[in-house]
């Protein structure tokens, strides 16, 4: 039975699917969002948190482009912190502990109330194609068939998924949900390359049975801004706690390795190197006497606590024994046991920079299906995939974010250009432009795109423009405002541990000193305007890091010259004798969009790029 009323189908309503469906519908398309269980919309099967190192930058970029994750995280926030404050603004990263159920309810409501979007429970079994090989319909396991022009795959860890806890293996998705086997088979039949990855999660405890008095209390911040630009201070506060494993814990783990599916060879999928299980950590770092664990609340109306740092696939009896060996957890009751989950995903080299598959026009992929890990990485990809699916349906030019645009561009470029042999996690070190692509200026970098796509309102865009105009005006005022030497000024400088002035100085020069903050100058600057925190933040960063920012902007301009040089689609790389054999094979497999992307492909050397430039020049001369 065929039902004709949609233009785009989004398969999955996790973090990638939500952003894809909302973006496409808000751009004016008729969207069907399918999920196997409506109660799992926006589910957080792992840590109930949003943001963190590099991930917080992704969330702010999602907000600047018009996505929903930042607003949902602010609405469900129960603790907020800005990480890495001691390391400089390039790596400041917002992080929120959120109420898991409140987050899910917020996202389900957002989907339900979005015009043009239908949320439906049902298992997608196949993506159908027309005579030209392009997407033509999505078919459910029930037999229902929906003709569509584009499909966004956002299946998370559900494809042929299997969970492991010791000797017990279950054919199931996250949190015991049903797996999606039919679709995995259908994607393989379409010629898409599949592989097996693995991830895991720790136990959840009953917080009423935890002795917090022997743990270190971790408070959140009570001031500052949330994820969404202009959102104000996050609302609720809840404490997290820090404790540690010990040698007894490690002995219990080592004694049970023969029962671990991770070490017995039962699990075949590749796990995340940057988020290993506790048994992995004990084996890989035998010299470490302890590993830190964070107890993080799952919500304000539940006693369930997430035990971060103790991800495991060990048997449940071993989990109980090792948990009870930890200070403060001697009497802890387990509410959910930890498990590992293995699932099918795509080799991301089969994707274009738009996240459209190379093999099937109109078929897009986003999230953990693309080999990444993390809610934030999934949401960023989902937003881009949903935007591009809508643009395709509307006959408009595709939307591509580059590395110079920020973390989302870096994430996608890494996946589709370099591929990944393990679940990909975003880190600040992956971005060569991190001083420019900061979390605080994501609005300036990306809101113009969001406005052009129709995802950012004119009012939000105008507010952003006003913020940066006020910052520029204040920097100019500081540049042209001098302060005479005085006891007040020199006492201030002495208290801040910096040298006094004899002949006076411009306020801008004083602010350039590392020891001096903008608010410190109030005592010697009677003409200062009343500025909001967000403007002051921009003033301080622009003044203190002016030289570094200028150098970074020049690097971006140099890189853009390579990125702007588009490679013709019809290049026969295999016949280019100027290139080495490895480079020819890699270029033919990836089919890069630009010269810049070609240079980032593993196995393509600078000499190969030089040869490619020579070829392009000879072709242009003909």
- Per-residue pLDDT tens over the stretch 202-220: 999 999 999 999 999 999 9
What is the average pLDDT across 160-174? 94
Between CA 50 and CA 44 the distance in angstroms is: 10
Residue 248 has pLDDT above 70, yes or no: yes
Residue 9 has pLDDT above 80, yes or no: yes
- Six-digit token string for 248: 């007894």
What is the average pLDDT across 186-197? 96
C-alpha dihedral (274, 280, 281, 287), degrees to nearest 10:
-130
pLDDT confidence of residue 294 = 97
pLDDT confidence of residue 2 = 66
Cβ atoms 217, 241 nearer than 8 A: yes
Q: What is the pLDDT of residues 249-304, one digit of tens each?
A: 999 999 999 999 888 778 877 877 777 899 999 999 999 999 999 999 999 999 99
Tally of CA atoms within 13 A in the half-sphere of 206 that contains its CB: 9
Which region among 62-76, 325-339, 573-587 has the lowest average model confidence (pLDDT)?
A: 573-587
Q: What is the pLDDT of residues 510-531, one digit of tens each?
A: 999 999 999 999 999 999 999 9
pLDDT confidence of residue 123 = 96
Residue 332 binned pLDDT confidence (cut-offs 50, 70, 90): very high
Closest CA to 35 of 143, 209, 188, 158: 158
pLDDT confidence of residue 443 = 97
Residue 622 binned pLDDT confidence (cut-offs 50, 70, 90): low
Domain 565-621, CATH class in plain words:
mainly alpha
Cβ atoms 544, 475 nearer than 8 A: no
CATH of domain 469-549: 1.10.10.1800
Cβ atoms 267, 313 nearer than 8 A: yes
pLDDT confidence of residue 1 = 63
Beta-sheet strands, E only, within 36-157: 49-51, 77-83, 93-98, 117-121, 124-129, 135-140, 145-147, 150-153
Q: What is the pLDDT of residues 432-481, one digit of tens each?
A: 888 999 999 999 999 999 999 999 999 999 999 999 999 999 999 999 99
Residue 610 CB neighbour total at 10 angstroms: 12
Cβ atoms 315, 337 nearer than 8 A: no
Tell me if residue 302 falls in helix, strand or coil: coil
> What topology is assigned to 204-340 in CATH?
Elongation Factor Tu (Ef-tu); domain 3 (2.40.30)
Average pLDDT value over all residues in the chain: 93
Tell me if residue 414 falls in helix, strand or coil: helix
Residue 314 binned pLDDT confidence (cut-offs 50, 70, 90): very high
Q: What is the Cα gyration radius of the chain?
A: 26
C-alpha dihedral (558, 564, 570, 575), degrees to nearest 10:
-10
Which residue shows structure tokens 């919309």? 41
Q: What is the pLDDT of residues 18-72, one digit of tens each?
A: 999 999 999 999 999 999 999 999 999 999 999 999 999 999 999 999 999 999 9
What is the average pLDDT across 77-103? 92
pLDDT confidence of residue 565 = 86
The structural domains of the chain, with segments of one domain joined by +, span 8-198+343-453, 204-340, 469-549, 565-621
pLDDT confidence of residue 609 = 87
Per DSSP, what are the bridge partners of residue 364? Answer: 152, 356
- Six-digit token string for 130: 């027309």
Using left for φ > 0, alpha for ψ between -120 and 50, and beta otherwise, residue 494 falls in alpha
- The pTM score is 0.94
Residue 450 CB neighbour total at 10 angstroms: 25
Residue 411 has pLDDT above 90, yes or no: yes
What is the average pLDDT across 178-185? 94
Residue 3 has pLDDT above 90, yes or no: no
pLDDT confidence of residue 560 = 82
> What topology is assigned to 8-198+343-453 in CATH?
FAD/NAD(P)-binding domain (3.50.50)
Which region among 144-158, 183-197, 255-269, 402-416 has the lowest average model confidence (pLDDT)?
A: 255-269
Same CATH fold assignment for domains 8-198+343-453 and 565-621: no
Evaluated on CA atoms 403, 406, 409, 412, the torsion sign reads: positive
Between CA 477 and CA 465 the distance in angstroms is: 18
Query: Tell me, what DSSP letter sits at residue 324?
Result: H
Residue 183: exposure state from Cβ atoms within 10 A (0-12, 13-18, ≥19): buried
What is the average pLDDT across 530-548? 93
Residue 621 has pLDDT above 80, yes or no: no
């Amino acid at each position: 039975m065929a039902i004709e009323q949609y233009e785009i189908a989004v398969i999955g309503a996790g973090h990638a699917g939500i952003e894809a469906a909302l973006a496409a519908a808000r751009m004016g398309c008729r969207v069907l969002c399918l999920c196997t269980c409506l109660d799992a919309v926006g589910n957080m099967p792992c840590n109930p948190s949003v943001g963190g190192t590099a991930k917080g930058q992704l969330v702010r970029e999602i907000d600047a482009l018009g996505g929903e994750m930042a607003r949902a995280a602010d609405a469900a926030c129960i603790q907020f912190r800005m990480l890495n404050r001691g390391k400089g603004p390039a790596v400041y990263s917002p992080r929120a502990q959120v109420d898991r159920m409140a987050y899910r309810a917020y996202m389900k409501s957002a989907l339900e109330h979005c015009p043009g979007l239908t949320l439906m429970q049902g298992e997608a079994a196949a993506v159908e194609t027309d005579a030209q090989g392009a997407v033509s319909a999505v078919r459910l396991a029930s037999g229902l068939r929906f003709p569509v022009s584009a499909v966004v795959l956002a299946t998370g860890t559900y494809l042929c998924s299997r969970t492991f806890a010791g000797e017990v293996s279950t054919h199931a998705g996250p949190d015991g949900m049903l797996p999606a086997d039919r679709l995995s088979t259908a994607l393989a039949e379409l010629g898409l390359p599949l592989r097996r990855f693995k991830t895991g999660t720790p136990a959840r405890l009953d917080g009423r049975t935890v002795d917090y008095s022997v743990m270190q209390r971790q408070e959140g911040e009570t001031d500052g801004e949330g994820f969404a630009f202009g959102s104000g201070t996050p609302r609720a506060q809840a404490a997290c706690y820090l404790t540690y494993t010990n040698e007894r814990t490690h002995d219990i783990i080592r004694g049970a390795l023969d029962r671990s599916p991770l070490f017995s060879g039962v699990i075949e999928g590749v796990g995340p190197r940057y988020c290993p299980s506790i048994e992995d950590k004990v084996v890989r770092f035998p010299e470490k006497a302890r590993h830190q664990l964070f107890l993080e609340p799952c919500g304000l109306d539940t006693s369930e606590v997430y035990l971060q740092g103790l991800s495991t696939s060990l048997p449940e009896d071993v989990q109980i024994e090792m948990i009870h060996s930890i200070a403060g957890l001697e009497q802890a009751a387990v509410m959910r046991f930890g498990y590992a989950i293995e699932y099918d995903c795509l080799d991301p080299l089969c994707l274009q920079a738009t996240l459209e598959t190379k093999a099937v026009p109109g078929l897009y992929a986003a999230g953990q299906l693309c080999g990444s890990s993390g809610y934030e990485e999934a949401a960023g990809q989902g937003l881009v995939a949903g935007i591009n699916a809508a643009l395709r349906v509307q006959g408009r030019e595709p939307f591509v974010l580059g590395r110079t645009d920020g973390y989302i561009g870096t994430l996608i470029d890494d996946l589709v250009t370099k591929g990944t042999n393990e679940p990909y996690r975003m880190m600040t070190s992956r971005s060569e432009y991190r001083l420019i692509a900061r979390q605080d200026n994501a609005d300036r970098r990306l809101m113009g795109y969001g406005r052009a796509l129709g995802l950012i309102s004119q009012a939000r865009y105008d507010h952003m423009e006003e913020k940066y105009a006020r910052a520029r005006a204040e920097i100019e005022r500081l540049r042209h405002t001098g302060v005479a030497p005085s006891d007040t000024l020199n006492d201030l400088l002495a208290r801040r541990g910096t040298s006094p002035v004899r002949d006076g100085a411009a306020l801008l020069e004083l602010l350039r000193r590392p020891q001096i903050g903008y608010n410190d100058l109030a005592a010697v600057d009677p003409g200062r305007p009343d500025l909001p925190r967000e403007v002051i933040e921009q003033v301080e960063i622009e003044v203190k890091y002016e030289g570094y920012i200028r150098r970074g902007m020049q690097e971006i301009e140099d890189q853009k010259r390579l990125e702007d040089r588009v490679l013709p689609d019809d290049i026969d790389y295999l016949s280019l004798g100027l290139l080495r054999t490895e480079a020819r094979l890699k270029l033919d497999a990836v089919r890069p969009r630009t010269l810049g992307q070609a240079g980032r492909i593993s196995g393509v050397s600078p000499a190969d790029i030089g040869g490619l430039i020579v070829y392009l020049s000879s072709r242009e001369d003909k």
